[in-house]
Chains A and B, each alone.
Chain A
Amino acid sequence: MNKPVPPDELMTDEDGPLYAPRKKVYPQSVSGRFRSIKWRLMAVCLGVYYLLPFVRWHRGLGAPDQAVLIDFPNRRFYFFFIELWPQEIYYFTGLLVLAALALFLMNALGGRIWCGYLCPQTVWTDLFYAVERLVEGDRRAQIKADAGPMTAKRAGRRALKHAIWLMIAWWTGGAWVLYFADAPTLVRDLATFQAPAIAYVWIAMLTASTYLLAGYMREQVCVYMCPWPRIQAALTDEWALNVTYKYDRGEPRCSVKKAFDIRSLGEKAGDCIDCNQCVAVCPTGIDIRDGAQLGCIQCGLCIDACDAVMTKVSRKTGLIGYDNDINVQRRVAGKQEIFKPVRARTVVYAGLITVVCAVMLYALMSRTLLDVNVLHDRNPIAVRLSDGAIRNGYTLRFLNKRGFDRVIAIDVDGPADAKLHVIGADSVTPDRPMIVLARDTTTELRVLVTAPLDERAEKSVPVTFRVTDIGLGEVASATDHFVLP
């Protein structure tokens, strides 16, 4: 039997416990360049989210006039001048590809810009923090209050905070449902309890998730729930700019007075005065001086905090800044800093983005507004008539994506002397069936093609259905096969 190892020998400084209970983060307010960028981006993001459903876009009589509308009952998606049908769902695939590539490019250039500035979790958490500070005071006041007893004043403030949080969360859920129906009408219906139950369910769900994620989960979403930090770590490279503590300049840390003494002896003292301001302002509660880490969302608030302190002690700002490991090593080696935004990785990403954009734009521009699909009868696949002729049945589906009714003629090219018969056609000219396609709809018709073929004919002949808009001359076609029994 092995001799038991004393526990103290098992423990090293680096190996903390695998799970640590959460320590509440009290980020201190900060002002500076990145803070003001974040305020502005927050205003833009929230403004777009909350107000976009109210933007109008005239599309003609009978069509919805909401600029951005996901119309599930009628299976249409409207985005300003674009109207998409369910068949065109691949445009969303394109958008997702584009979004992924943009994320990669952002990441290759400036690290987790998405996390720090644009991610909804960041934006709403930031907003909730702002409310918290407004009501309960800044970091010190909150820590003090939490350590002290629950007074009536404190309870009142806390209740006020939660009330404001819930209001924001509720309105966040409310704005969400407005994207799925005419916004002004829905607002009125919601207020008078006339709206469909599903709207209230969604509002309740998003109110709850916003309140919980931005009010309570906060940085835990980024650290434990979000997959992006993990993926991001695999996508980044040594050139990407990240929020970095320049330890070559900062270490060893010591107070201003001590640094003065050390430097007067001609030895190296770091610029970091270990004031912990970068830790105090961090919304995820990490210490950036520990280097690049999962918990860092790279919002740049520590840069603002550090710059303020450096200015106060009359040192050069930028001890924490957007930088990368290459430059740290180059500075140590006495070389010039270099930044290379244009490199293979970024060029490839930018190129792919351009290609996807071009493909999507082309697809959008050459989008057909008249279309026909054909489906051959499967059972029976062919029918022999009493006079020996062969008949095949097809289902044709016409798509009229225009905002007006149109008359179309149907022609068939296939076996010799083929005759076309449309079941239930409302207007048939001899040998050239014509029907009316209602605006913005699909129409399904059963058609029969009869040809006087005998046993010697080929087993299968291509057959093409051509659809011509009598007024506009637009043509669409679809090809299938004419087969023998």
Chain B
Amino acid sequence: MSEHNEIDRVSGRSTTGHEWDGIKELNTPLPRWWVLTFYATIIWAIGYWVVYPAWPLVSGYTTGLFQYSTRASVATDLADLEKLRGEKMAVLGNASLADIEKDPALLALARARGKTVFADNCAPCHGSGGAGAKGYPNLNDDDWLWGGSLDQIMQTIQFGARSGHAKTHEGQMLAFGRDGVLKKDEIVTVANYVRSLSGLSTAPKFDATAGKKLFTENCTSCHGDNGKGNPELGAPNLTDQIWLYGSDEEALVETITNGRAGVMPAWVGRLDPVTVKALAVYVHSLGGGK
């Protein structure tokens, strides 16, 4: 800036000596507090570089004075959270399933915990509200392949069905058509008979006697004499109105021809025992539990 001492007549202030098209610039310095704040931010920034990880290097970065890292901080926060939950979760872990359902406070806790865990782990198959889909059971209704009591639900969550775990539920719907046990027309007849068991309409030329015979010969060992199913084998009740894979003739023919073997993964080892317990209580409280 050039040396000058021109005073503007209107404002009584000095000018900077700069002039554009006859307009002169007044010398109006920033307020002192502003300048000081600016310097303070510079000092702050330098302190920041020293204390926190700040500068990228060729292979790594400056770690700062206290080796602060957001990753470590998150880990600490999570550990703190677990500690905070610890006491309540311990109570949940020590209570029996039946006791949890009787105690409103424990039930609320288990439901809250179960709900979040359900959303993270179960919702992809069973839906966010447990309503299921074709092939994935609805957990809100009262029909349970492997039993709907608290203990049975917990058992299923822990070890799954056809999951490969040593204690898993085993049992499968055979592929009567693919394996050549039944012929095509026999399969259609059985399918119609199964529909008649739950009061659904049947095809006009359907031979009920033949259907009953075929059913007794091939199906009763798993589904029972009356078709009421068997939770020991995961064999569904064929007389009710709930159909995992659909109730129309086409779906039934498909089922009988190729069989069904849906898999429920085992959660033991992936979820801790208290969480599984909370999950069982939550699923049971959806309303279908027996």
Contacts and interface: CB of A to CB of B under 8 A. Distances in A.
B242 interface: yes
B25 to A, nearest CB: 16
A304 to B, nearest CB: 37
B54 to A, nearest CB: 28
Nearest to A377: B129
A444 interface: yes
Given A377-B129, A379-B127, A424-B101, A446 B143 contact: no
B241 A393 contact: no
Contact of B240 (A4, A10, A383, A387): A387
A340 interface: no
B278 interface: no
Contacts of B101: 424
A147 interface: no
B102 interface: yes
A7 B131 contact: no
Contacts of A443: 104
B240 A386 contact: yes
B168 to A, nearest CB: 25
A388 B241 CA distance: 6
A386 B131 contact: no
Nearest to B21: A1
Nearest to A17: B11
Given A10-B10, A385-B142, A391 B129 contact: no
Contact of A424 (B9, B102, B129, B143): B102
Interface string A9-42: 0110000010000000000000000000000000
Interface string A415-449: 00000010110100000000100000001101010
B275 interface: no
Contact of B285 (A379, A383, A446): A446
A380 B133 CA distance: 11
Contacts of B240: 386-387
Interface string B86-117: 00000000000000011010011001000000
Given A424-B104, A444-B108, A384 B141 contact: yes
A388 B142 CA distance: 11
B128 interface: yes
B142 A386 contact: yes
Nearest to A10: B10
Interface string B187-209: 00000000000000000000000
A378 interface: yes
B137 to A, nearest CB: 12
B73 to A, nearest CB: 20
Contacts of A4: 22
A424 B285 contact: yes
Nearest to B107: A424
Interface in A373-418: 377-380, 383-388, 391, 393
Contacts of B104: 424, 426, 435, 443
Contacts of B102: 424, 426
A484 B241 CA distance: 15
Contacts of A391: 140-141, 287
Interface in B218-245: 237, 240-242
A443 B101 CA distance: 16
Nearest to A485: B131
A106 B82 CA distance: 57
B142 A379 contact: no
A8 B10 CA distance: 7
Nearest to A421: B287
B108 A383 contact: no
B155 interface: no
A436 to B, nearest CB: 9
Which of B111, B140, B141 has the most C-beta atoms of chain A within 10 angstroms of its own C-beta?
A: B140
Looking at chain B, what size class is its interface with the partner chain?
A: 20 to 34
B138 interface: yes
B128 A379 contact: yes
Contacts of A435: 104
A7 B10 contact: yes
A386 B127 contact: no
Nearest to A388: B241
Interface in B167-190: none
Contacts of B107: 423-424
Contact of B141 (A383, A421, A426, A446): A383
Contacts of B288: 383
A158 to B, nearest CB: 21
Interface string B1-33: 000000001110000000000100000000000
Nearest to B237: A386
A412 to B, nearest CB: 15
Contact of B9 (A7, A384, A385, A387): A7
B140 A393 contact: yes
A17 B240 CA distance: 90
B231 to A, nearest CB: 13
A421 B287 CA distance: 9
A8 B104 CA distance: 85
A388 B285 CA distance: 20
A8 B111 CA distance: 82
A11 B237 CA distance: 99
B129 A379 contact: yes
Nearest to A450: B287
A383 B140 contact: yes
B129 A387 contact: no
A426 B102 CA distance: 6
Contacts of B10: 7, 10-11
Given A378-B129, A379-B129, A426-B102, A385 B141 contact: yes
B241 A423 contact: no
A365 to B, nearest CB: 33
A385 B242 CA distance: 7
A393 B237 contact: no
Contacts of B127: 379-380
Interface in B117-163: 127-131, 138, 140-143
A446 B101 CA distance: 12
A393 B139 CA distance: 13
8 contacts: A7-B9, A11-B10, A17-B11, A380-B140, A384-B241, A386-B240, A424-B102, A424-B107
Interface of A: 4, 7-8, 10-11, 17, 377-380, 383-388, 391, 393, 421, 423-424, 426, 435, 443-444, 446, 448
Closest 3 CB pairs of A and B: A379-B129, A386-B240, A380-B131
Interface of B: 9-11, 22, 101-102, 104, 107-108, 111, 127-131, 138, 140-143, 237, 240-242, 285-288
